[in-house]
Amino acid sequence: MTQLEAARAGTVTPEMQFVAKREDLSPELIRSEVARGRMVIPANTVHLSKKLEPMCIGVASSCKINANIGNSAVTGKVDDELEKLHTAVHLGSDTVMDLSTGGNIDGIRQAMIDASTVPIGTVPIYQIIQNVKDPRDITPKMMLDTVEHQAKQGVDYMTIHAGVLLEHVPLTRDRVTGIVSRGGSLMAAWMVAHHQQNPWYTHFGELCEIMRAYDVTFSLGDGLRPGSLADANDAGQFAELKTLGELTLKAWEHGCQVMIEGPGHIPMHLVKMNIEKERELCHDAPFYVLGPLVTDIAPGYDHITSAIGAALAAEAGAAMLCYVTPKEHLGLPNKDDVRQGVIAYKIAAHAGDIARGRKNARVRDDQLSKARFEFDWNRQFELSLDPETARRMHDETLPQDVFKSAKFCSMCGPKFCSMRITQDVRKLADDAARISSNLTPLSLAK
């Protein structure tokens, strides 16, 4: 039984129990959200028997983030990828996708699954394409076999671009950046070469049975997501989203868990609308968005352009945010890029949780602010998203231990610290209250 089938049958699985504890929510709420399809617990039964610690993705729980790692044909080795995995999970990534596209692709995946406590996602088409000379040589059988192979390895969720249909491709004709999803572009090329519909779509029932057997969660890919602000919210994007809604119902019939992937590049004022549209067309299946980037002009800083959009998406109800690193559009991320991406997205997800008023979301903020006001520098570092970096920056100008309890920092210097000046703010406030009540009211001098 998949988590979805168990939930429907009224069973609270050990994984739901575990997740409920992590989220500080009731097991029954978790069960009912999973049963309704509004929450997923991506937990391949094979990975569950190894190190996986179950987690959930859904709007009723805290907003999650994913880090994409993996090599490309140009660069990358197993150890490098395991180091990136460790960095991502250490800094708080809730899931990790292995997007390897070259070299020892099977070995990297297995090593990651074996090592990972968080769910691992993949995009099977990236492996399928490895085994053919030309995309047109791909067969439906290869596709299904590869999914089964990866499911057996223990992959927890898979991106499947089943919503790109032949009739959607003409809608991309006048785009500025065409089709930017690798999976989407491959399926488009395949369909045109074969004069046939997308095999993920035509073979969706068989696919569901494989996914169901291991409880692999569908991450229905947005093969026609916009690759620039100019292409945001166009007919192609929304035609595919509607198809993803149909596929969601179909997968649910098969007892499979489903989330929906979203863009990409969207100007700020259209982010919320995208989230609402997904909810409507895809029947509340959890929305898993990539960014979105809110401007196209900052290559080298797209962790920031996209963290803005991601925070808006989180506030509007996205369930998981796929990070973007500073290297996006420029090259394969290294370990430090992974760090930058993960922290930017922890910020976005947390800011969204606060804005949505999630239970206890602000507790850590308040604790850190209190430590800040009390000049407890070490506690401030401990409570911060990246203690190592916070400490290093403080050390740059005031490395000595004594300054970790000093009542100032190098930003303002000892004489100018507002917190020092008003540290006894209660006394100051009480004095001011006493004095101002005796003061003759002043009218503003001309």
Segment contacting a second copy (CB under 8 A): 13-21, 43-51, 82-90, 355-363? 355-363
In the chain, count H helices and then E strands: 20, 10
Length of the chain (residues): 446
Q: Interface with a second copy includes 313 (CB under 8 A)?
A: no
409 is annotated as contributing to ligand binding: yes
Task: Write the CA distances from 340 to 68, 235, 282, 325, integer angstroms.
Answer: 12, 34, 32, 6
Q: Binding site annotation covers 208? A: no
223 is in an annotated binding site: yes
Longest alpha-carbon distance in the chain = 89
Residues 6+ apart with CB under 8 A from 319: 39, 57, 58, 59, 61, 63, 64, 259, 286, 287, 288
Q: Which candidate, 418, 420, 228, 397, places its Cα nearest to that of 329?
A: 228
Q: Which of 218, 326, 375, 404 binds a second copy (CB under 8 A)?
A: 326
Cis peptide before 124 (omega within 30 of 0): no
Is there a contact between 84 and 335 (Cβ–Cβ < 8 Å)? yes
Residues 242-271 that bind a second copy (CB under 8 A): 246-247, 250, 267-269
Identity of the residue, 28 or 336, whose beta carbon is nearer to a second copy in the bound complex: 336
Residues ≥6 apart with Cβ < 8 Å to 386? 91, 339, 343
Q: Is 412 annotated as a binding residue?
A: yes
Q: According to CB under 8 A, which one of 17, 32, 139, 295 is a site residue for a second copy?
A: 295
Of the CA atoms within 13 Å of residue 191, those in its CB half-sphere come to: 22
Q: Is 170 in the site for a second copy (CB under 8 A)?
A: yes
Which of 145, 233, 354, 376 is close enough to bind a second copy by CB under 8 A? 354
CB 302 within 8 A of CB 333: no
23-42 residues near a second copy, rule: CB under 8 A? none
Among the listed residues 32, 45, 228, 378, the single contact to a second copy using CB under 8 A: 228
First-last CA distance in the chain: 79
Identify residues 179-218 at the interface with a second copy (CB under 8 A): 179-182, 184-186, 188-189, 191-192, 195-197, 201-205
Tell whether residue 261 is among the known ligand binding residues.
yes
- Close Cβ partners of 146 (under 8 Å, ≥ 6 residues apart): 124, 127, 128
Binders in 386-415 for a second copy, by CB under 8 A: 386, 389-390, 392-394, 396-398, 409-415
Q: Pick one of 9, 21, 24, 176: the residue that binds a second copy (CB under 8 A).
A: 176
In whole angstroms, the minimum distance from the beta carbon of 172 to a second copy comes to 6
- Beta carbon nearer to a second copy, 38 or 362: 362
Q: Is position 177 an interface residue for a second copy (rule: CB under 8 A)?
A: yes
Return the range that interacts with a second copy (CB under 8 A); candidates 10-18, 48-56, 82-90, 322-330. 322-330
Q: CB of residue 322 vs a second copy: minimum separation in angstroms?
A: 14
The yes or no reply on residue 355 touching a second copy (CB under 8 A) is yes
Beta bridge partners of 67: 96
Burial 140-162 (b: 16+ CB within 10 A, else e): eebbbebbbebbebbbbbbbbbb
Site membership for a second copy, residue 111 (CB under 8 A): no
State which of residues 79, 209, 280, 366 lies at the interface with a second copy (CB under 8 A): 366
List b or e across 334-358, with b for residues whose CB sees 16 or more CB atoms inside 10 angstroms. beebbbbbbbbbbbbbbbbbbeeeb
- When binding is defined by CB under 8 A, the residue of 364, 376, 378, 379 that contacts a second copy is 364
Per the listing, tokens 């308040």 go with: 366
Binding residues: 68, 97, 126, 161, 181-183, 222-225, 261, 265, 288, 329, 409, 412, 417
Q: Which residues are annotated as a binding site for [4Fe-4S] cluster?
A: 409, 412, 417
